[in-house]
Structures are given as structure tokens and as C-alpha cells.
Chain A
Amino acid sequence: MIGALIAERCTNCNACVKACPALVFDPGEQTPVLARVADCQTCYLCELACEADALWVNPDAASSWAPPHRHLLESGQLGRIRLDSGWNEPADAGQLDDYRLLGPLLNEGVEIAGRRYAQKHGG
């Protein structure tokens, strides 16, 4: 669940309010407000929408706990998903050049599991 909104980074642009499919955020005076945390589905899409890298989602879908903000600021995790995705890069930046490997790697795993099971059962 959404764990942290780092106020010192937030520009109050409301991109998270608009992006959240579960309407977890309400608009606020200084920053958006985490109004309905229990509805958070841990999809991380607010982090992608946040150009200020001010949001942190706890990967535990049942927990909105967050480390102290000073730790998060040093963790390298803020904005990491946007960076890994190449979310704001130009279309020719090659951010999806490895994406074609998804299917082959998924199938390779399936094959590995199949061979291992067959060997074990004398197949």
C-alpha cells in the first residue's frame, strides 16, 4: 500500500490524485492527502505519475508502513520505477528494447520446470 508522500518533494501537482484508479488521494492545501489508504491496490502507478519522485509504495499489499523519510530519500528507491521504465524518455530511447524477451523467457522457465519434473519421474 501507499506508504509515504514526501512533502518536501511534492509540488502539489495532483498527478497522483488523477492517476490513482482507486482514488486513494484527495486534493489538499499543501500536498494531496492520503484519504483512503485501505483502497490502495499496490499497483505503483502513482509512482509512475509522480514527476517529483515524492511517493513510495510499500510492496506489502496489507501494509502502509514506511521507513523514516530521510531513509527513503537516501534509499535510491524514490523514482526508481520511473527510471527503470524510462517513463519520461523520448520514444526512440530504447526503453522497451528488451521487452520482446518476456515471452521467450517465460516459456524457457516453463520448459525448465517441465524437464526437471520429467527427469524426476523418469520421463
Chain B
Amino acid sequence: MIASVILSADVLILGGGMAAAWAAIAAAEAGASVIVVDKGAMGTSGVTATGGPGHWWVPDDAALRRDAVERQTAKAQGLGDPEWMARIIDLTWRYLPQIASYYPFGSDGRGGRFINGVRGPEYMRALRQLALARGVTVLDHHPAVELLANADGTIIGARGVALISEETWEVRAGATIVATGGCAFRSGLIGSHTNTGDGLLMAAEAGADLSGMEFSISYSLSPEWASTRTLPYTAARFYDGGGRELDIPPPRAGHAHDQALGKAMSEGPVLADLSDAPPALHGVLRRIQPLTAAAFERRGIDLWRDRFPVKLFGEGTIRGVGGLRIIDADCRTSVPGLFAAGDAATRELVTGASSGGGAVNSAWALSSGRIAGAAAAQQARATLARQTGTGLGRIGLHPQRAAQALDTATITASVGHEIHDYKKAFWRRADSLAQSATVLEGHWQALADHGRAQGRDLVELRAVAAMTASARWVTAAAQVRAETRGIQFRDDAQALDPALAHRLLVGGLDTVWTRPDRATATATATAAATAAASAELAA
């Protein structure tokens, strides 16, 4: 790629969602010049903008925080890090109120402000305004396509495409943060269309490794015509196409709930009946989630009285927890000069094997954004001059064989099927995972051999490659973790295997590899010993 526009900054941030915004704000507050480049638009990009994130919210009280960390450590099933948990609780508590000048906090019903739950569109609007007020330069519709490295392999910026003009831009920076979000494999999950794992691909091309990709079995229920927030549906009864009520374990049953729904949906239509929903919800749904009300009203459906067809929308690594491995307390990746934040990073540090749920994940996005932003600003100060570098992008730019037009829509649908098909995902088995690996390998080979495009087509081709790469990492990690732990369920290995009480690293493009994260295995053993000792003391 040859750039027609070259800019420079201390800190370059890839992505425009919640973590990217907090990273930009923190870097600017630390005195750095900051450029944000996003595929969409900061303010509407990503899954926060259409959501309503609650944040992990524990008052500044030592006993309360210790309890919260202990509960979360237990949920993490040996793969979490209590120090990181305590850290993100503290950062969230201190920094979320900072948006007050731009966000219309509502009442807490007791004369104060309700802070920890925020509505997505207003939250992302506030973060954009706060970032702009701190002097951040925001380039919307400017997706990064490839990272740039100097001769040492240190990342010194990125190149990408300006979507409207289709010109190539380049930003040279002292530090670069990947905050491009997770990957939902184009499942239709609301807000996730641009969450295609682009940053994971770019980082992997630079040699970064990932962690926790097997923890990715996560779905949300919605009307079959469009993904919405799930607030109205938690008390739903379910019926088959013949009007017979289905015996579905309740949402709290977790995997069994999803399995039962997935099985029924594989066999025919499933209809939801919300007549049991909390009556108080009827009057306020519109005031809490105006978008959800519209999804029914515009189809002439009374969601409290009419039965309507539903399906499960895959959430991929968004509510799953895998992403780029974080190697230190500053949110550095394994590649020099490259930081990661939010859903682009592994959240195992704070979630372990469990889903982050909304609250822990949001606290992570805010905190990892702030940590990466501040650390990147500090690193940039130590970097003397803007350097020129070599583009590391290969797939879609430099095919191994003759360039050919590829049917990206078909590849996307197939990749999505391998990851989100109910039978494959809810009943992961060695044989079906091996079949998926073979299918995905074929797609990768075609992309690597023949993929080449320019402008907007290049951005889409790279998105398809990123989803394919992400799916291969998910599948490889799920193959090796032959046990059931947290949100990883193996139908052929339904027990916890103590020998797998460590995180699992995965990486590679043409050849995908996995290996145990020995560092965390040691830390896990230490944490387990400490927990056992404190349990003894408590008893």
C-alpha cells in the first residue's frame, strides 16, 4: 500500500468503541497527541453503542472489594488474576463518573445519580465528546489495514483506507493500541457488523499471540428478524411451531438453557411468549431501551401478548473472552510497541474461563483502555522521532499465487456456520471440531493464495480473512482444551481436567499453533494454594 496522506502522533489507536475512546482520553490526559482511526465512527461503532453496559461497581471499601474479587476468582475457575480484578474495579469506580459533563446520568431513586449502568448511544456520544475535548483527533471511516514495523520489529504505526475517498493513509506513532473489538463472525448480533476481528489479524501478522479463544460459546436471544437487547425475554415461555410448550431450563441454567433452545431451534421454529414478564417492564421498556420497543412496534407486534419467533445470535469473542495476550501490567501485547485494550484483548485476567457478563467486560474495556492509553503515552515520550516502517499486512495484499476474485459472502457464511451452528457450538466434540478445522483451513488457503483487493473491497476482504483466522484460533484452542471449564463445553469431555488448569495460547496464520501458558499455570497454582490457605484460616 502506498499512502497519499501521512500523519503522525504520539499514540495511534485502532478502533472506535468504548475501549478505544477510554484509551484516547487517557493518552491525551497523559500529554500525548492522539489519533484514533476507526472503521466505523467513534460514537456509533461497536457493541457498546447499541447496548447498555453495566459496569462492575464496588464502592471504595476494602472488605466489599475483597469479597467481589473472591467471588469473581471462584467464577474464573483457576484462570483469573485477582490483582487485575481489584485494579479494574478501582479504575472503573474512579473514572466512569468522569463522563458527567457529557452524559445525562439518571436518578438512582434515592436522591443521587445512577452511575454504573449507562445507555449505549448516550455513553458513546459522551466518550466521543470527552475525547474531542481532550484534543484527540478522530478519523471516522478510516479503518487500519496493516501495521507498520521498523527494522527491529517494533510497531511504529499503521496504514489503512479512507473509506469515502478510498485513498490510503498512514499514521506514524510512538505507540499503537489495538482496540478494534471482538469478533462476532457476522452473526447479526446488534452492533457487531464491523466487529470482524480486524485487529487480531493485524497483530497476528506482526507475530502476536492470543489467549482464551476457546471460551467463545456465548449467545443472546432475540426475535428471529433482528438482534435486540435481551431485557424483555428473561422470563419467556417457549413454544414449538405446533403450539406445544417446550421444557426449557431457565436462563440461570446457562449452557443447558442454550442447549435446549438450540436443539429446539434446529428442529423447527421456536416462539417466545412474554406473558410472564415482570408487569413493571411494560410501562418502562420504551424509556429504558427505545430501540427494542421499535423492533416490535414497527412490525405491528404486541410483544407482551403476541407470540413471536426467536433465535439465538452468536456473540463470538465479544461475550466470549479470548483475544490478544497481555504480557504485562501496561496492556502490552507480545509484539514490541503494540498494546491491546477491550474485547481485542483477552479478558481472562478478569474473567478466567467464565463469560465476562456485561459488567466485568465493561469494567475491563474502560480500565484496559485507560491503562493502555497512559502506558502508550509514556512509551511515546521515550520514542524520539517518527520512524518509517514496513507494512506487515500480507493477506489480501500479497497473495501467494495468482490473484483471483473470491466469493467472500460464501466464505463469511461458512465461517459463521462453523463457529455458531448450534449443534457444533453447544456440543463441541473432537470429531466435529476437526471437521471445522478442515473447512476453515480450506478458506484460509484460498484467501492466502488468491486474495487481493483495493480500497473498500480490500477492507472487506481483510475482514473476511480476520474472521477466518479468528475462527481457526477458536477451533484450535477448543480442540486442545478437551474438558468443560467455564463457558468452554465439550460434549465428549464434560468434566474439569486439573491438568488443563492453565491458559491456552494460540496463534499463527498459515500454520495455527497452540501451547499452554506456563506462566499462568504457575500463577494459578500459587493462587489456588493461597485460596486454599485463606479458606483454612476462614474455617
- Residue numbers of A with Cβ under 8 A of B are 18-23, 26-27, 39, 41-45, 48-49, 57-62, 77, 80-81, 84-87, 89-103, 105-110, 112-114, 116-117, 120
Contact = CB atoms under 8 A, between A and B. Distances in A.
B281 interface: yes
B203 to A, nearest CB: 22
Contacts of B287: 84, 95, 98-99
Given A103-B117, A112-B276, A59 B298 contact: yes
Contacts of A105: 231, 278, 280-281, 284, 288
27 contacts: A21-B44, A21-B45, A22-B194, A42-B226, A43-B50, A45-B44, A48-B121, A59-B226, A59-B295, A61-B227, A77-B294, A80-B290, A84-B290, A89-B104, A98-B284, A98-B288, A99-B287, A100-B106, A101-B280, A105-B231, A108-B234, A108-B280, A109-B233, A113-B234, A114-B251, A114-B252, A117-B248
Interface in B97-147: 103-109, 114, 117-119, 121-122, 140-141
**Which of B119, B121, B232 neighbours the largest number of chain A CB atoms within 10 Å of its CB?**
B121
A42 B50 CA distance: 10
Nearest to A102: B288
A92 to B, nearest CB: 7
Contact of B40 (A21, A91, A92, A112): A21
Contacts of B291: 43-44, 81
Given A103-B54, A109-B278, A62 B193 contact: no
A20 B44 contact: yes
Across chains A and B, which 6 residue pairs bring their CB atoms closest together, nearest first?
A21-B40, A109-B234, A96-B106, A84-B290, A41-B193, A109-B235
B437 interface: no
Contacts of B50: 43-45
A58 B121 contact: no
B191 interface: yes
B133 to A, nearest CB: 15
Contact of B104 (A81, A95, A108): A95
B297 A116 contact: no
Contacts of B288: 98-99, 101-102, 105
A41 B236 CA distance: 25
Interface string B184-203: 00001011111000000000
A23 B290 contact: no
Contact of A112 (B249, B278, B286): B278
B276 A116 contact: yes
**Which of B230, B236, B276, B291 neighbours the largest number of chain A CB atoms within 10 Å of its CB?**
B291
B355 to A, nearest CB: 15
Contacts of B117: 99-100, 102-103
Contacts of B52: 99, 102
Nearest to B192: A41
B44 A100 contact: no
Contacts of B107: 94, 97, 100
B106 A95 contact: yes
Contacts of A45: 44, 49-50, 121
Interface string B172-215: 00000000000000001011111000000000000000000000
A37 B74 CA distance: 46
B221 to A, nearest CB: 11
A91 B104 contact: yes
B427 interface: no
Contacts of A62: 225
**Which of A39, A84, A95, A96 neighbours the largest number of chain B CB atoms within 10 Å of its CB?**
A96
A34 B209 CA distance: 40
B337 interface: no
A48 B49 CA distance: 12
Nearest to A22: B193
A57 B44 CA distance: 16
Nearest to B193: A41
Contacts of A60: 225-226, 299
B509 interface: no
A96 B119 contact: yes
A94 to B, nearest CB: 7
Nearest to A17: B164
A110 B250 contact: yes
A45 B40 CA distance: 12
A120 B247 contact: yes
A20 B225 contact: no
A118 to B, nearest CB: 8
